[in-house]
Structure formats: structure tokens, C-alpha cells
Amino acid sequence: MSTYSASKTVALKQSAEEGAALSGRPPSLAVSLPSGGTGVFASLAWVGFGISCLWWPDIGDWPRTHQLAAAALVIAGAIFLASVAGNRLGRFNAGLQRRAPWLLASALFLTLWEVATAKFAWLPLPFFPPPQSIIEVYTDDLPKLLDSILASVKLQLGGYLIGATVGFLTGVSIGWSRSVGYWVHPVLRFIGPLPATAWLPIAFFTFPSSWSASTFLIALATGFPVTVLTWSGVASVSNAYYDVARTLGAKPFFLVRKVAIPAALPHVFVGLFMGLGSSFAVLVVAEMIGVKAGLGWYLQWAQGWAAYANMYAALIVMSLLCSGAITLLFRTRDRLLIWQKGVVKW
Amino acid sequence: MVAHALAEAVAYPAVGASLDVERISHAFDIDGNALPVLEDVSFSVKPGEFIALLGPSGCGKSTLLRLVAGLGAPRSGVLREDGDPVTGPFPSRVVVFQDPTLFPWRTVWNNVALGLEAQGILESQRQRVDAALDLVGLSQFRNAYPHLLSGGMAQRVALARALVNDPKILILDEPLGKLDSLTRITMQAEIVALWQRKGFTTLLVTHDVEEALFLANRVIVFSNRPARIKADIAVDRPYPRHRGDPKLAELRRNILGLLGLDATW
Ligand SMILES: Nc1ncnc2c1ncn2[C@@H]1O[C@H](COP(=O)(O)OP(=O)(O)OP(=O)(O)O)[C@@H](O)[C@H]1O
Ligand SMILES: [Mg+2]
């Protein structure tokens, strides 16, 4: 810790280098400016955004404009303080350095959005709501939004876990046992490629509730890619591994658990990613058509009322949730497949 | 017999098993045609003996080793370990393949532990894994994943993975084939030292006549496919051996002759 001011410049310089080392190669903007410089500019841009909210009068009736401006100024202040504090914030500072260009760009984008909608209506109004009306949705319609989020997460999680588990077990069985493969493979070939949404009409009247029907569909959408990729993973395990394990005394169950499955795991994760993608699609459709809850339903409800701000708000939440789910899956994979070299960082 | 006397003089700890190869013939089906690979191969290995198998590429040496390991059944003939017929793989006969085939998802330690784990005795015998890693000088790398190892290190891990099971018969299929010549020479010396210390019976396939003569009590030379035994040569020289030994040079000339490479060598 430096308490002597002469050492400060050195410390700041060092922190910039740390930041650069951590981020690999940040855009040249961040490098060419003195340390913390981009942070200061980002802070200024946020001030600009705050002022843009207040400078011109709103052309519509949006009660959250002042709060939005205040929030922008608070963010600007926080960025400014953090940039000036520099090295004393340690790792946080490195993260800030790396993100400063993005903070700057997003402030510029928000300003443009604000001006183009709320102030001059360059974009046709009901279809392109300003930022403050989306904030308004998050503050005023929070209970309904939270209910929808909860419903979506519950449905998605249940269906995905069932589909992934069943798919994994099926894939391992087909890959391992010839006789299981004989019976399951044709069924898989016949049913698997069918988009899960094609089952929608049938599922909704054969299942006791629309919730169980949707769970089934999500599980189906997840299960197919997981099954196929697990299967191909298990089938492509080199015989040399089995030979080695067998000469060391491994029994069939050990071979499945400790050789086939770990060797197939990279494939399994590819299947899990594909399954996640297609199950999101099914989730939204199922919620729009059958289940009267969840973000998909919220979207449709908002459309019915021409509540465009609610739609954008729900879309943003949805994208955060999907991205969060993918990130979680990537983290899990990175943990389990730490032995692989050169995995993609998400 | 001189070779016999010598073998007894070296006072092996008695852990090696005897191996009897009795009239083994084997063939593979390729597109409906039988491809004969081994033809009436018979030899006996005494407990603790070190046998090198030499022969042209593709003659059937690896096939024979797989049969000894129990990874397949011969078309005809019997293999006996200490008099009992071999019916399947068993950890008393462990193979080190030409490729180290380490499990990439296991650390070095866990790779070596594989055999004990498969036999369900790892928890009580963890120190054996540490000892095996010490033996091949890789204790420092116990937590490394295989992709970080050099070729020679990987091959040493494969050796430790075999040795940790205290095999009675160690089966080595060109274990040093892919190594550079320096590492190779070092590993040859290590293998001899291990073999002398542990006393297991060893079957080594190699393409390198010098390696065979440097390591083995006996060298068995095979013909072209289908493999038949062409010669069974005792190497009655004491260990540690010297590569310049004129007796070994003479044997080398003989063997190269048997393999069809004549006088110029
Ligand atoms: N599983 C198999 N199916 C069919 N043919 C095989 C099989 N394994 C080996 N062969 C054939 O048997 C013959 C002997 O193979 P083997 O691997 O035993 O030779 P090798 O003596 O070990 O040769 P190298 O010294 O080159 O390793 C070869 O012609 C090979 O093509
Ligand atoms: Mg071979």
C-alpha cells in the first residue's frame, strides 16, 4: 500500500499494465490514454446521458425521467471515483479498466436512444419506448414480472434437468450396449429430428396439465441432442483405453463409469449446449400457446395490450436469463473438463 | 546351461510367474478371408526371466502379447501362467502399450492409481501409488494432467501405472519405440534396474536388436507373418551390460542375419 503520493503514478501505471495483461489485448483506445483515462471519459459520457435526460422536455408522459437521470449521474460518479482511486481497488480496478470502453459505449448508446425516442421521437413512438419507460416497467410492474420469471425458470429447469438426465442415460446405454442400441436407435431416428414444437397440439390435450405438457416438450427438445451426442461420445472412445483398463483389472461397470463416461464428457457438453438452445425456443412457444404464465406469456400479454415497453423489458430479462444459463453451463464444463486444453472461454 | 546358472546367480525375489506358450496359432478374419498371424508358436519362460521378442513389422508380435494379456483368445493352443490357463485379463499380467494411452481426464497420480481403483483396493493402498511414482521419478508431477507431460514422462507414467499392480508378468510392447535415443537409453537402464529389483517376468517386444540384447536373458526371433519362431537365443552376459561388449556385437550380427540383414552390418 502506498501512502506517499510520489509513488502513486507508478502504482497507477502498474495497474494499467495489470489491466492490459488481464484482458489480453484491449482496444487501442484503452492503451493510448493515460491510466484511468478511459474510465474518466466513461464517467463523462454517463454525465452526458444524465444531462440529456434533463435538458430537453419529454415529449410524452414518463414519470421516471428524473430518477433515470439521477441514476446516470450516480453511475458516473461511481465510475469516476473508481477510476481515480486506481490501484487501491486491486482486482476490481483491473476489471474496471477492461470494461471502461464498454461503459463509455453504452452511455453513448443510451444517450442516443434517449434523444431519439423521448426527446425528438425520431423513432416512431409507441414501438420504440425510451429507457425511462422500461425502468418504469421494472419498478411498477415488478410483481408480475417476478412471477413470470419464477414460472419460466421453474418450467425450464424442470424440463431441462429431466431431458438432460434421460438423454444422458439413454446415450450411454445406446453407446455401450448393442442390444439397447438395436431397439432404441430406430425410435430415436424416427422421433428425434422432429422439432419438439410439432408435438405441441398433441401434448396439450394428452397431458393432464399444460405445465406437464410443456415440461415434456422441453425435456424432449433437450433430450434428443444430449442423447445423440452422448451416444457418439461413448461410441468414439478409443478401444485402447478399454484395453488398458481391462488389463488393470477393470470390470464392465468400472469401464462405463470411469472410462466411457469421462471420455465422452466433451461430447455430452456439446449436446447439453444444443439442448439448452432448443429448449429455450420450446419454452417460449409453450408459454405463449399453452401455459398462462412465464416470460413468454408476459411477452404475449404485453403485445395484446400494445405495452411495448413491457415487451422490451421482458426481452431484456429473458436474454439475461438465457445468457446466465449458458454461462453457468460453461462454468460447469470448465470445471469438469479442466483436463482439456484449449477450451473456448465464454 | 550357462544362461540358467546365471539367472539363478542373480537371486531374483520370487514374484515372477512362469509363462508357457503352448502351440499357439491365431488368425484374423479380414473380409471373410482368414489372415493367419501366429503359427504354432511355443516357448516357455521361467519365473523372473526377461524375454525379448524380435520380428519383422506386422508379423504378429503385438497379437501374441494381447493373447498373453488375455485381451483375446487364440484360435488354438494354450497359454499358462504358473501352470493355470489364461482365460482373460488379470492384473497379474500388465501391459505397457507402445502408445502410453494415459487417461487425459485423470491426473498423473490418478492414472497410476487406476489399477488399484479398478480392483477396489485403492483406499487401503494409496502409498503404493506414491511409491510407484517415486520409482519412475515423477512424484513432482503427481497432480499434472497428461497433456503437460513430455513423451518420455508419459511413458514413465504408463510404466508406473503397470508396476503399481506388482505384476507377475510385465508385458512391454515397444514401450520405448517413440522416444528419442537419449531418453531411450536412460529408460532402458531404468527398466533393467526395476526388473532386477522387482523380479517380475518380462516379455518385451522391440524393433531394436541392440535394445533386446542390452535388456534380455533370451531373444526370440520370429519369421515373417504368420509368425513362427526362427531362433531362441540365450544372452548369457551379466548385468549391467555394456553396449560395446564384443559378445553382444556378435549376437547382434547373428540376429540381423536371421532378420535378413546380412554381412554389411
Ligand atoms: N484386430 C485385428 N483385426 C484384423 N487384423 C489384425 C488385427 N490386429 C492385427 N491384425 C493384423 O495382424 C497382423 C499382425 O499384427 P501385429 O500388430 O501383431 O503385428 P506386429 O508384429 O506387432 O507388428 P509391428 O511390429 O509393426 O507392431 C497384421 O497384419 C495386422 O494387420
Ligand atoms: Mg506391434
Atom of ligand 1 nearest to the CA of B30: 4
Residue nearest to atom 30 of ligand 1 (CA): B58
Decide the pairing of beta strands B169-173 and B93-96.
parallel
pLDDT tens string B80-94: 999 899 888 998 999
Kindly state the average pLDDT of the residues A61-83. 89
Residues whose CB falls within 8 Å of the CB of residue A270, separated by 6 or more in sequence, listed in order: A229
pLDDT tens string A119-174: 888 888 788 988 888 888 888 888 888 999 999 999 999 999 999 999 999 999 99
Cell of A75: 453511475
Nearest to B156 by CA among B127, B186, B182, B181: B186
Do the chains contact at A339 and B106, CB–CB below 8 Å?
Answer: yes
Give the phi and the psi of residue B2 in degrees, each rounded to 5: -65, -45
**Is a pLDDT exceeding 70 seen at residue B12?**
no
Decide the pairing of beta strands B19-30 and B33-45.
antiparallel
Cell of B253: 550380427
| A33 band by pLDDT with thresholds 50, 70 and 90 | very low
Predicted TM-score of the model (pTM) = 0.81
B44 sits in which H/E element? strand B33-45
| B8 band by pLDDT with thresholds 50, 70 and 90 | very low
CATH number given to A141-340: 1.10.3720.10
pLDDT for position A47: 93
What number of C-beta contacts closer than 8 Å exist between A and B?
69
Nearest to A214 by CA among A161, A291, A123, A139: A291
pLDDT for position A345: 59
- Residue A343, chain B, CB below 8 Å: the answer is no
pLDDT for position A346: 59
| A270 band by pLDDT with thresholds 50, 70 and 90 | very high
Residues whose CB falls within 8 Å of the CB of residue A143, separated by 6 or more in sequence, listed in order: none
Residue nearest to atom 3 of ligand 1 (CA): B28
Residue B79 near residue B169, CB atoms below 8 Å: no
pLDDT tens string B77-128: 999 999 899 888 998 999 998 888 999 999 999 999 999 999 988 888 899 9
Do the chains contact at A243 and B104, CB–CB below 8 Å?
Answer: no
Cβ–ligand 1 distance for B33 under 6 Å, the answer no
CATH class in words for B2-264: alpha beta
- Whole-number mean pLDDT of chain B? 86
pLDDT tens string A205-253: 898 888 898 999 999 999 999 999 999 999 999 999 999 999 999 999 9
How high is the ipTM of this complex?
A: 0.86
CATH 1.10.3720.10 boundaries in chain A:
141-340
Cβ–ligand 1 distance for B61 under 6 Å, the answer yes
pLDDT for position A177: 87
Cell of A300: 404475449
